[in-house]
Amino acid sequence: MIQGPQNIPFAQSSDSQQVPPPYHFPDVTVNAFVWPANMKRVQAYCDQTFNLGSEEERGFVYRPAAMWPYATLLFLEYPIMISSNPLPQHFDEMPYSDRGIISQTEVFIAVPVIRYGTDPVTLITETTLEWALPFIVVGNPMSSVCGREMLGLGKLLADIKTREGRFPNSFHGTIKMPGWRSLEPGAQMDPKLKFVDVKTNPVLPTFRSSENQRRSLSTLFESREASWLIEEMGSLSNLVDDISLGMIPTTMRTVGLKQYRDAIDPTRAIYQSIVTCRAKYSNINTFRMYDEKDIDIEFNDVGSFNEILQVFLEVGDTPSGRKYPLTPVAGFQFKADIDYDQMRVIHSFAIDREGGLPPIPAQSDLVSSWARPWKGFFGPLTHPMRNVE
């Protein structure tokens, strides 16, 4: 059996921005907007990003979650970001948890996907719901570095503005980031090209609603009693999914492709793996709905933005050069504590190497967390690529 090196210390410097999980983020403000997603486009994204190589080698396949065919845009404002890693660092350096705090704003689009096992045993033990993030930006450079290096999420650094809109208790959010207005050769990059602009009227109840509120999904939550019930039930993780019609996943296990490019041949990867991390929402409170008819969302379908928009919007295969307006089916706001932990590499892909070097074999750790207690009871659940002789 081929075994990798064990207990190799990580080369650490006190000025490193790679702060390892777990993380604790209290009192996060979340504004979320939900709209129907095209399942064929989500499948194409899964095939390009997660379903690499053959099913036999992987032992799994990613598909869209048909029971929740929606994409969700989330603006998160973190007033305090704390490393809750209890482990001491090398030498006599100050532990991460004692170094202090940072704050930031983060925006991502989440699409639910399901990882299915590809044989009768793994179909039961390895099938699990995860959340793909085809777009994620942050306003803090340290978070961008940690997201890419530690969590395997392709975080981009962007100029994110969140503020109250025209009226009290409304929301206005914008994202500007580097991009090209045109894909023509020699085009000049715009360092702050607007990606999306979101505006709402006040949360309900409000007299400024543009439509009859009795027709809105949000009327389910407009009474004071319902609002109190949501806040009380929100503290119980196993019930908040039902209370919010599934719109708030209290445990969101994100999945991403972590990879490093070959510097000699930029078209090749020297490392690729599927990485998951748990984001657990707790102490959910002040849950408020927007009237979805009062939400204006405009994505900028230009140049380099078009390819990512194709994952979750009905844009064309080429940039239109225009704003793409979107009316969501639901919008809401709440506060919560968020913990990021349980980071796991579930599969590293085989890599061929040149120069007569032996290939790096694929390795898997696919058993879903809910099935792990049963693994020992029934015996080892092996996969041909999990242990390479």
Q: What beta strand segments (E) does the chain contain?
A: 23-36, 60-64, 70-83, 102-117, 128-138, 156-157, 159-163, 172-180, 189-200, 251-261, 269-290, 295-301, 322-326, 330-348, 363-364
Q: What angle do CA 201, 135, 257 make, to 5 degrees?
A: 155
**What does the pLDDT read at residue 77?**
97
- pTM of model > 0.85: no
For 12-47, give the DSSP string: --TT---PPSPEEEEEEEEEEEEEE--HHHHHHHHH
What is the helix (H) or strand (E) element at residue 376, kind and residue range? helix 372-378
- Read off the tokens for 386: 């999990």
Rg (CA), the chain: 22
pLDDT at position 178 is 95
Ranges of the chain whose pLDDT falls below 50: 1-4, 214-216, 219-223, 225-245, 370-389
Tell me how crowded residue 215 is: count the other CB atoms within 10 A of its CB.
Answer: 10
Query: What per-residue confidence (pLDDT) applies to 56?
Result: 84
Residues 196-245 pLDDT 10s: 999 999 998 776 666 555 444 554 444 454 444 444 434 433 334 444 44
How confident is the model at residue 19, as a pLDDT? 76
pLDDT at 212: 52
Query: Residue 78's beta-bridge partner residues?
Result: 104
| Cβ–Cβ < 8 Å for 177, 161 | no
Span 11-28, pLDDT tens digits: 767 677 777 778 899 999
Task: Confirm if 249 and 281 have CB atoms less than 8 A apart.
Answer: yes
Write the pLDDT tens digit of every residue in 300-332: 999 999 999 999 999 999 999 999 999 898 899
Write down all domains in the chain, each with its CATH number in brackets: 23-378 (2.40.400.10)
The CA distance from 39 to 22, in Å, is: 33
Q: Which of 284, 279, 320 is nearest to 302 (CA)?
A: 320
